[in-house]
Amino acid sequence: MQLLKRNLINKNVLIPLILILTLGAILRFYGLGIQSFWLDELLTWGMSNQENLTGVINTLRCCSTHPPGYLSIIYFVEKYIGDSELILRFPSAVSGVLSIFVIFLLGKRLYTYKEGLIASALMAVLWSPIYYSQEARSNSLLLLFTLFATYFWITIMWRLNEKVKLSNYIIFGYFLTAITSSYLHYFGLFLVVLQGLGSILFFIRRRSALSYIFFTYFLIFLAYLPWFPAMLDQMSSDSYNWVNQPELITSLKSYFNFLFNTSRTLKSAILILYSFLFFNSLYNIFKKKEYRNIRAMLLSSGLLLVLWLIVPFVLIYIKSVLSAPFLVNRNLIISLPAAYLLLSRSITQLPFSSRNQVIIVFVFTGLILSNLIFYKSYYSKPHKEQFRESAGYIVEHDHLYKDSIIAGSYAFMTNYYFERKGFDRRVELGANQKSISGISKVISTGNPRYVWSLHAHSVPDEGYINFLNKNLTLLEYKKFIGAEVWLFENRSPDFYYLGFYNPEEWPTGRYRWSKQESIIGFDRKGAIELVLHVSHPDVEKAPVILTVFLNKKPIDKVTFTRKRRISKRYYIPKASKDVQQLFLKISRTWNPYKYGVSKDTRDLGIAVSEIKFLDELPKDGIGFYQWETWGGGQIPGWPHDLPKRFRWTGMRASMRVESGLKNGITLFLLSSHPDINKSPVKVEIIGDDGFIREEIFTESKWKKVILKGDEIKNSKVLTIQVNRTWNPESAGVSNDSRELGVAVAIPEK
């Protein structure tokens, strides 16, 4: 302790240590409450949110695989301070900062203050210790008390080996930190057991040393004995059934990524440093005869760290292969300090001056920090399951859908956020296969009209979603990280919207802003009408193109060169599918906030009105432009006594088949695409029963097309589908901004 005090008084140690602790504290406390609680953190809240401490213990015994230490702490935090994300994560953040200091102490104990400072710098900036310092789980506290326990254990081992009398505070320090680790997490108990076995094996022939060891671990056993029956009960559970059978190479890579950031450059540098340390240690052992005997080598700092890093992983891997797997990286946080201490030792052993070693440490920690902040976007992007955001979406939009019911997975977790947001509603039904009968009873009465379905952490049951899609109409869908929200309407399925924002009431009716790609689904055929509104501020400089598909086939193309609202009509023929899909694809979106127009941060495509189903096809058809008179000379085959009137189509146009035309129709078609010689234009003629004929144009000449009565059959509507349109204005031919398909002329008798 005197040596430690002298080192801390030394400004060459104290100033860097304070700077490292300050940096580590900033990285741990910054954004502590930004991320939503995810499943495990909400379990922490739920299990500790009991009437008394006995309730916490009983909940753990029946429903968890964790000892009671951490949740007992959180119980008192919730009872006397609060239960927000920031408050419940605060103990972990404090423990994370203290771990930086304790790893300095351990590095100083094992080597020198240099290794201690480097290890503390690594602990301060690497992803894993920061992440678990910002999580309401036991891992950060486990890391802290693992460091403490290992510090005291190594001190005990070395003093017993040197036959130096142990002070009471060292034995008590190990007892206190070891039992705390064991009550925090079973992997803490696992490490304490390994330390006990290692102590016994090493001093198996030293009775005086064994007496201290047996006494210490007997005290730990007595202190843990009250929880032992509960631990046996928990061991019979299968709460790790979600863990897959491990594969060695994959597990090693995953373990290495856990210890260090996933950057390939950083990992390559770390492997080089580890390799250097390994060969340098071999050289010191065999060439320099660094250790006077095997006992000294077994208790050397380097070998103890290697065993600390490797043995827990190997034993858990073997157990996971032979029986139920439970190899989970976060549990191996008990070995994380060993990796950082070995890396710090490899840097101090480089054949460089102290100044150059300091430069290497600065560069290394700078790269790690930049990887964390910029590559991983740790502080700028969500990375936990968004329970809060998915619940907030329902809170924000529920007022638009009166008379609704909420179904959800992990109901009490969603209700936590409902309550925190001041929402007076709660999850009323489950959201899985078992919930189908309950939802069936509710929707069979037609009341409520709307059903919210929220899923988080797990993929929803396919049968459950199929049931909802079959019996209800999907109105909204929103995907979050690790969570999804559906809104269904309990009515006969006329149509649904995907890829749209929430509906808005405008003076002219209800509209929805599309995203870049959006879908309108409906289960009817016939003529439809919808209004499209484009409001891009720069549309005159950069035209906006809308392409419309019906069941994946393009049927229209509209080029907007100015802000305007247009009405479009389409004929939907009978199809093999029960549900038709109108797919809208806009060439680009715009963001009102980025354009300085408003505070709206959405990326907007076009505003689309509600679909209106027409009673019948208009007399003049749909998809045609206005009538024109042909003035370009004689049309081959056209009756001389009739006016040459025609109409341009867009990409798709439909017309009635009047009773007088059922025995046959003569059409005159013209394509005037400027590039028709290079790229032929294909025109499909479609009746009520499907495809009738295809005409291919390779030159701009009128073509006479005769459809016989047996081709038309009983069709009431003929549809002309063009594979591509052209725009005279965009082509520089004229000021005509229409998207032109083919000209259609029918002799009027």
pLDDT at 19 over 50: yes
Given pLDDT bands bounded at 50, 70 and 90, which one contains residue 649? very high
Res 660 pLDDT > 60: no
User: Under 8 Å CB-to-CB from 167, ≥6 apart: which residues?
Assistant: none
User: Which residues, other chains included, contact 181 with Cβ-Cβ below 8 Å and sequence gap of 6+?
Assistant: 142, 145, 146, 149, 188, 189, 191, 192
Query: 85-110 and 11-29 helices cross at what angle (nearest 10)?
Result: 150
**CB hemisphere CA count around 703 (13 angstroms):** 18
> In sequence order, what are the beta bridge partners of 452?
406, 487
Cα distances (Å, whole numbers) of residue 6 to 20, 195, 479, 515, 744: 19, 30, 57, 65, 98
The identity of residue 468, as a single letter, is L
pLDDT band, residue 446 (cuts 50/70/90)? low
Contacts of 720 (CB under 8 A, 6+ apart): 623, 649, 652, 653, 654, 655, 669, 683, 684, 685, 686, 741, 742, 744
If you average pLDDT over each of 186-190, 231-235, 493-497, which comes out highest?
186-190
**What HEC string does 264-275 produce?**
HHHHHHHHHHHH
Question: Does the structural domain 386-493 have CATH classification 3.40.190?
Answer: yes
pLDDT for 741 equals 93
Nearest partner of 703 among 685, 727, 725, 679, judged by Cα: 685
Are 44 and 137 in contact, with CB atoms under 8 Å apart?
yes
Are 118 and 365 in contact, with CB atoms under 8 Å apart? Answer: no
- 386-493 and 622-745 share one CATH topology? no
CB-based contacts of 512, cutoff 8 Å, min separation 6: 497, 500, 501, 502, 503, 504, 607, 608
Helix (H, G, I), strand (E, B) or coil at 520: strand
Evaluate if residue 578 carries a pLDDT over 80: no
Q: Where are the alpha helices (DSSP H) in 162-240?
A: 168-184, 186-202, 207-224, 228-235
Task: Give the least confident one: 190-199, 262-271, 302-311, 647-656.
Answer: 262-271
- In the numeric block, which tokens belong to residue 294? 């095997």
Half-sphere exposure of 619 (CA within 13 A, CB side): 0
The residue type of 490 is N
Topology of domain 515-616 in CATH is Jelly Rolls (2.60.120)
pLDDT at 4 over 80: no
What's the rounded Cα separation, in Å, for the pair 95 and 144? 6
| Distance between CA atoms of residues 350 and 208, nearest Å | 40
Q: What is the pLDDT of residue 491?
A: 60
> Residues 155-183: pLDDT tens digits?
999 999 988 888 889 999 999 999 999 99
Mean pLDDT of 227-240: 77
Spans of all domains in the chain: 139-233, 386-493, 515-616, 622-745
How many other C-beta atoms can be found within 10 angstroms of the C-beta atom of residue 295? 12
286 CB contacts (<8 Å, ≥6 apart)?
none
Long-range contacts of range 291-296, CB-CB < 8 Å, 24 or more positions apart?
Answer: 295/161, 295/202
pLDDT higher for 282 or 698? 698
Q: At what angle do helices 85-110 and 39-48 cross, to 10 degrees?
A: 100
Residue 403 pLDDT = 80
- One-letter amino acid at 696 equals I
Q: Which amino acid is at 68?
A: P
Largest CA distance in the chain: 126
pLDDT higher than threshold 50 for residue 493? no
Phi-psi region of 289 (alpha: psi -120 to 50; beta: other; left: phi over 0): left
Residues β-bridged to residue 405 = 451
pLDDT, mean over the chain? 89
d(CA 489, CA 24): 50
Q: What is the CATH number of domain 622-745?
A: 2.60.120
Task: Report the range of poorest mean pLDDT among 142-151, 188-197, 334-343, 735-744.
Answer: 735-744
Residue 171 token pair: 């034995």
